[in-house]
Structure 1
Amino acid sequence: MRLFIAFPVVRSEALDALMAAFRQHLAGDKITWSDLQNMHLTILFLGETDQVLLPDILSIMDAVAYDTDPFIVHYARVGLFGSRYDPRVVWMGAEPVDVPGALHRRLAEALQPLGFTPDRQNFVPHVTLGRIRMCRDKARLTQVVQQYQGLKLPEQKLSDIVLYESKLLPSGPQYITKGISTLGC
């Protein structure tokens, strides 16, 4: 099963408006936009995982969550992953980055004995807004993304980390909750 650890994102009118604006401005491109009901702030992608490891993963999540207090984030920027010649993902960044970054590091270190290898890329706390399949005008895409650098969505208190299974279906990804760990408990 394909697993990742994330915080669910609370849907808001501002988020709905942001997604509608992106869909409108980039209607000519082939972008698979994230379902507003499935949005999440990714903390750690585990990838293909043997089901036998689930109890150990959940136990580690509980231990790390116990030592982490709930915290507040706000979404204040939008960016692109991939190169400027081949952008792959439109994302929304969470601030502050230090608490989710520390949680990412602690989970990655605690899960290493189970065979999970840390990602070599720098961790960027983000919510995937869309996956770019084909972009006709990369300069226009960059321009639209830059319009939303001063983004101000409502703050969100993050208190539960969720272990999700991701099933990739032709209709889009389906996320199944495998476990929840409450911060500070």
Structure 2
Amino acid sequence: MRTFIGIDFDVKVKDGIKAVQSIVRESSRKGRFKYMGNFHLTLKFLGEISEEQIPSINKVLEASAKEVGSFGLNIEDIGFFGGKGNIRTLWLGLGGSLASLDLLYKKIEEGLEGCGFDKEKRPYMPHITIAQDLILKTGFAELRESIDLKDIPVIDAEEVSLIKSEEIQGKRIYTPISTFRLTGK
């Protein structure tokens, strides 16, 4: 099964992200837009795993969640990863308790390395993907000017989950397999 580790958001945060995404959609000629239910923050993409690997992954997540308490994140930026003539990935960037997020990320990376998963070679850049393969009607600077991120509520990161990603009837569906509350020491 295809999986990743992530942090889900409450519906008020997802509604705020959806409002931003609507502005992007209106400003675009074409693109693929993430479903509201799929808005999340990825900590680590695992790819294909077996059922037998789940208990060891859960041990890492449980231990990491015991070391890092809940924290808040703000959506503070909009940006993109390039492509050929289009925007490959349009994302929302984060601020707030980034030190806590980074600690959680590092604990998970270190723990999973002991389970045979490769450490990520690129620096961790926390972001929320809202669209892909985007072609805008105007320039990106104009789009950025038209978006106000202040109305999106604070993300209360209280849990971390192992999440299954599958395609069902042509739609990508994310389903939590296991979830651990961030309790700190």
Shift of 1:38: 1.7
Q: Counterpart of 1:3 in structure 2: which amino acid?
A: T
Kept in 2: contact 1:77–1:149 (CA 8 A): no
Tell me the alpha carbon deviations over residues 106-155 of structure 1, each in whole angstroms, 9 at most, x when there is no partner: 101110121111111111111110111x6376xx3522453267622211
Residues in 2 aligned to 1:86 and 1:38: alpha-carbon distance in whole angstroms: 22
Equivalent residue for 1:177? Answer: 176
- Give the 3 Å change call, closer, same or farther, for CA 108–83 of structure 1 in structure 2: same
Kept in 1: contact 2:27–2:143 (CA 8 A): no
Shift of 1:170: 5.8
Answering whether residue 66 of structure 2 is matched by residue 61 of structure 1, we say no
Equivalent residue for 2:88? Answer: 88
- Give the 3 Å change call, closer, same or farther, for CA 50–118 of structure 1 in structure 2: same
Q: TM-score, normalised by structure 1?
A: 0.87
- Give the 3 Å change call, closer, same or farther, for CA 83–131 of structure 1 in structure 2: closer
After alignment, is 34-43 or 81-90 more displaced? Answer: 81-90
Residues in 2 aligned to 1:121 and 1:149: alpha-carbon distance in whole angstroms: 29
- Give the 3 Å change call, closer, same or farther, for CA 86–95 of structure 1 in structure 2: same
Runs of 4+ in structure 1 displaced over 6 angstroms?
none
Equivalent residue for 1:107? Answer: 108
Structure 1 unaligned segments of length 5 or more: list them: none
Structure 2 unaligned segments of length 5 or more: list them: none
Shift of 1:91: 0.7
Q: How many residues align?
A: 180
- Give the 3 Å change call, closer, same or farther, for CA 121–61 of structure 1 in structure 2: same
RMSD of aligned C-alpha atoms?
A: 2.1
Residues in 2 aligned to 1:141 and 1:117: alpha-carbon distance in whole angstroms: 38
Residues in 1 aligned to 2:27 and 2:36: alpha-carbon distance in whole angstroms: 18
Q: Secondary structure at the match of 2:114?
A: helix
Residues in 1 aligned to 2:160 and 2:171: alpha-carbon distance in whole angstroms: 22
Kept in 2: contact 1:5–1:163 (CA 8 A): yes
Equivalent residue for 2:52? Answer: 52
Shift of 1:169: 4.5
Answering whether residue 51 of structure 2 is matched by residue 17 of structure 1, we say no
Equivalent residue for 1:70? Answer: 70
Kept in 1: contact 2:92–2:127 (CA 8 A): yes
Shift of 1:166: 0.6
